[in-house]
A and B are shown apart, each in its own frame.
Chain A
Amino acid sequence: MTTEPAAAAGSPDGDVLRVEHVSKRFGAVTALTDVNLRLAKGEVLALLGDNGAGKSTLLKILCGFQPPDSGRIVLNGEEVTLKSVDHARELGIDAVYQDLALINQLSVYHNMYLNREKVRWPLLNNRAMRREAKKHLDAMGVNIPSIDVQVARLSGGQRQAIAVARSVYSDAKILLLDEPLAAMGVKEAAMILDLVRDLRDQGEVSVIIIAHNYGQVLEVCDRVNLLQQGQITFDKKSSETSVVELTDLVVAEYRAALEARHRSA
Chain B
Amino acid sequence: MSETAEQRPKVADPPSGGPAQRGDALALLKRSGGVLVRQRETTIFVVAVLLLIYFTTKSSAFLSESNITNLLSGFAAPIIIIAIGEVLLLICGEIDLSVGFVFLFAPFLMHYLIDFYGVPVIPAILISLFLGVVVGWVNGFLTVTVGVPSFITTLGTGYILYGLTLTTSNAYPANVPTAAESIGKYFASQTGGYAWSAVIWAVILVAIFHVVLTRTRWGLHTVAVGGNLLGAREAGISVARIKYGSFMICGLMGAIVGLQTAFYDNTIDPSAGGFNAMFLSVTAAVIGGTAMLGGSGTIIGGFLGAIVLATLQDGLSITGVSANPYFIFLGGAILIAMIANVQLARRRAAGRG
Contact = CB atoms under 8 A, between A and B. Distances in A.
Interface of A: 85-86, 89, 95, 97, 99-106, 110, 114-115, 117, 119, 122-124, 126, 153
20 contacts: A85-B236, A86-B236, A95-B234, A97-B234, A99-B231, A100-B231, A103-B231, A103-B232, A103-B295, A104-B295, A106-B220, A114-B220, A114-B232, A115-B221, A123-B215, A123-B216, A124-B216, A124-B220, A126-B215, A153-B352
Interface of B: 211, 215-217, 220-221, 223-224, 226-228, 230-232, 234-237, 295-296, 352
B215 A124 contact: yes
Interface of B is mostly: helix
B291 to A, nearest CB: 9
Contacts of A115: 221, 224, 235-237
A187 B230 CA distance: 28
Contacts of B217: 117, 119, 124
Contacts of B352: 153
B293 to A, nearest CB: 11
Contact of B231 (A101, A122, A126): A101
A54 B24 CA distance: 59
Given A103-B232, A104-B228, A106-B223, 8 more contacts: A85-B234, A103-B224, A105-B223, A105-B226, A114-B237, A115-B224, A124-B220, A153-B352
A110 B237 CA distance: 13
Contact of A104 (B220, B227, B234, B237): B227
Contacts of B220: 106, 110, 114, 117, 124
A101 B216 contact: no
Nearest to B225: A103
Given A104-B227, A117-B217, A123 B211 contact: yes
A103 B216 contact: no
Nearest to A100: B231
Contacts of B296: 105
A97 B216 CA distance: 26
A105 B295 contact: yes
Contacts of A99: 228, 230-231
A1 B232 CA distance: 38
B228 A103 contact: yes
Contact of A103 (B215, B223, B236): B223
Contacts of B227: 103-106
Contacts of B295: 103-105
Contacts of B224: 103, 106, 114-115
B92 to A, nearest CB: 12
A114 B234 CA distance: 10
A5 B211 CA distance: 47
